[in-house]
Chain A
Amino acid sequence: MKINGAQAVIESLKNEDVDVVFGYPGGAVLTLYDALYKSEFPHILTKHEQGAVHAADGYARVTGKVGVCIATSGPGGTNLITGIATANMDSIPLVCITGQVGTPLIGKDSFQEADMCGITTPITKHNYLVKKVADLPRVLKEAFYIARTGRPGPVVIDIAKDVFAAELEYRYPDTVNLKGYSGNFTGENQEIDAVLEVIQDAKKPLIFVGGGVVLSDTAECLQKIIAKTGIPVISSLMGLGAVPATYEANLGMVGMHGTYAANIATMECDALIGIGVRFDDRVTGIVEQFAPLAKIIQFDIDAAEINKNVRVDYKVVGDLRWSMPEVTEKLTKITTDLKAQYQAWREYVIAMNKETPLSYNKEATCIMPQQVIEVVSKLTDDDAIVVTDVGQHQMWTAQFYQFLKSRSFVTSGGLGTMGYGLPAALGAKFAKPEKTVVLFSGDGSIMMNCQELATAADYGINVKVIVMNNHVLGMVSQWQRMFYGKRYSQSKLNGKTDYVKLAEAMGVHGLRVTEPEKLEEVLKQALAIDGPVLVDVLLPEVEDVLPMVPSGGRLDQMVLGANQE
């Protein structure tokens, strides 16, 4: 059938089972929005393009599907950049469709022209500029395939304005034909055999879980491996939820703000089994002294992750959906009682975790931030989708929320994007309407995309926004307190903003809590309200995220928290 380019885009979205797009119209995408209108395709209008891309990202993180957003040329496209970079760092599948000026105007510094392919090359898995309408079906097919398969990531499709209007004979391809990309990431079995030998020789093995386990939905398989071997577990920020926090030998997060037991276990283990991790600098501390006694093993889909940051002794390159079942299968053939072999080590790390747990001042006369997370964790039966912004509140959430499932924690890990949380929470709630979605934000972060409160209200998207209000940029002021002689340069907000009124002005229910005795009651009330709520929680200005490994330090050189000495 003959249709125009805009209709071809919509048809392709349908072919890819896209059920919603997040976006913002403008000159170069008018024809596309016209087709959207005619087809009544579900679309969420955010208040800013950055909101649209983060919402698509939040949607993708909780579903595992490809998130889709649309923006116009020039400023529309450039407003997506932070969101694309955020998704790229955390390997989130997105297809971002941007309008481009008409083909005769490209390269002339035309009105609202920006070179999207040039700008997004370093922050995408792939990108396209479409100048011929006949290319559209193939490009869309490839874009979704590339975004979704292998190590997922964002793909930008920049489409010239006249392409939307031009007609084509539409046929959506069944297959992709890319010479340089197969999408199949099955590895070599002997790499697994070598790793299993190391595991059988080990006395003190440690499994280090990362975001790859979440992205590949292999948490269940991994849990089987853990149940069979009893190997203790540590997690990166992105890996939280893959192994339930309730598992006795789950020592929690490792790294700069990792638990005492997770960091010490890393320094003492004799085999560190990294699964879907990329050894980020926030995890390793000083790279040369990371896990110094261990044979380091890395399971990853991306060959370029091997030896990028940490030099590893053994690698298994391939999709975890291939390697994890293989490991499980091969473990069943091992006759040695591995559980018994690791017993002493396992008991040792569990005891260490019990003796030096995460802690905070529970006798304070004000509300403590950690307490807020604990109360929400309890009130939601640890079963909410938890979204964060970036800063102290993000680390406290990672430390104190009891994550039980994969894809229940949505946070900007790699890029650390303030302003990510609110729009991502909207995307997450839209994807999983049956779930309670709680956003922990700060009084710094929330202001970076607070306009999306209006989106929550306009569409009635029932998210619970908890503003951890300490009147400072908490993480910045913590570093200034610890490393910059308490010179609080530009980190004291001393804002006059009334967050309750801000919420109410945008049509969101606003609540405030200042006393610890009222905390639980107000949070309960917030969770019970049918509709979006913002809770302004007043917290002390000075409170550090601890433990902390100072930047470039060794993992066992931690500054410990209250009652941890």
Chain B
Amino acid sequence: MKYILAVLVDNRPGVLTHVAGLISRRAFNIESIAAGYTEEPDVTRINVVVSVDDEIELEQVVNQLNKLIDVIKIVNLTRIDSIQRELVMIKVKANPATRSDIINVVEIFRAKIVDVNRETMVIELTGEQSKIDALCEVLADYEIIEIARTGAIALSRGPIPAKNI
């Protein structure tokens, strides 16, 4: 089972070492991790997608992370109504013969072409993980050169921010 957690941390030096160190020490299975600034300058939001066998294992992850002094709050956004997004950029081989096919695929997925040259294209897509996986699968037919993904981030629906949940 995969869960997405919003981990609000004090924006201090060493905080990423502490979070990464804990994950490695406790042998937790992390699918992705994405960190960035928030509306409060001294708070960083780390979005963690964790893969666990059951709820008890999830509870362990949350409780262990909560013990870190820099961790202010953890919200399990899978449990509440929330929006999840990930950004991907895919560099794919595109010659004059395949270019229009790829453009078709891009349109179907409502993706964007952000770079084109004689041999390749870079396609950008924002969406849920499953949609990104599907696009990657289709583009594999045209030979993908490289992929950069951000890892998932999530936000709850409605007016209440994670820090107040």
Give the segment of A298-306, A380-388, A501-509, A517-525 that binds chain B. A298-306
B84 contacts chain A at the CB level, 8 A cutoff? no
> Could you tell me the distance between the alpha carbons of A128 and B70 in the complex, rounded to whole angstroms?
11
Partner of B59, one of A122, A128, A180, A307: A307
A118 contacts chain B at the CB level, 8 A cutoff? yes
Which B residues touch A122, using CB under 8 A?
21-22, 24-25
Q: Mark B3-27, 1 if CB is under 8 A from A, else 0.
A: 0000001100110011001101100
A254 contacts chain B at the CB level, 8 A cutoff? no
* CB–CB B56/A311 < 8 A: yes
* CB–CB A180/B69 < 8 A: yes
Chain B interface: which size bin?
Answer: 20 to 34
* CB–CB B69/A117 < 8 A: no
A408 contacts chain B at the CB level, 8 A cutoff? no
Partner of B69, one of A181, A303, A307, A308: A181
Q: What's the A-B contact tally at a CB cutoff of 8 Å?
A: 53
* CB–CB B64/A304 < 8 A: yes
A246 contacts chain B at the CB level, 8 A cutoff? no
Partner of A303, one of B21, B24, B25, B63: B63
Partner of A128, one of B14, B43, B71: B14
Given A122-B25, A304-B64, A307-B60, are A180 and B9 neighbors across the interface (CB < 8 Å)?
yes
Given A121-B17, A121-B18, A122-B25, are A180 and B60 neighbors across the interface (CB < 8 Å)?
no
* Residue of A with least CB distance to B57: A307
Least CB distance, A438 to chain B, in whole angstroms = 35
* CB–CB B59/A117 < 8 A: no
Q: Mark A103-122, 1 if CB is under 8 A from B, else 0.
A: 00000000000000110011
B67 contacts chain A at the CB level, 8 A cutoff? yes
* CB–CB B67/A179 < 8 A: no
B68 contacts chain A at the CB level, 8 A cutoff? yes
A435 contacts chain B at the CB level, 8 A cutoff? no
Partner of A117, one of B9, B14, B22, B63: B14
* Residue of B with least CB distance to A146: B69
* Residue of A with least CB distance to B14: A117
Least CB distance, B164 to chain A, in whole angstroms = 14
* CB–CB A126/B69 < 8 A: yes
Least CB distance, B165 to chain A, in whole angstroms = 16
* CB–CB A125/B69 < 8 A: yes
Given A127-B14, A129-B14, are A179 and B72 neighbors across the interface (CB < 8 Å)?
yes
* CB–CB B14/A304 < 8 A: no
Which A residues touch B66, using CB under 8 A?
303-304
Chain A residues with CB under 8 Å of chain B are: 117-118, 121-122, 125-129, 131, 146, 178-181, 302-304, 306-308, 311
Chain B residues with CB under 8 Å of chain A are: 9-10, 13-14, 17-18, 21-22, 24-25, 43, 56, 59-60, 63-64, 66-73
Q: Can you list 13 A-B contacts (CB < 8 A)?
A: A121-B17, A122-B25, A126-B68, A129-B14, A131-B13, A178-B10, A178-B69, A179-B10, A180-B69, A302-B67, A304-B67, A306-B63, A307-B59
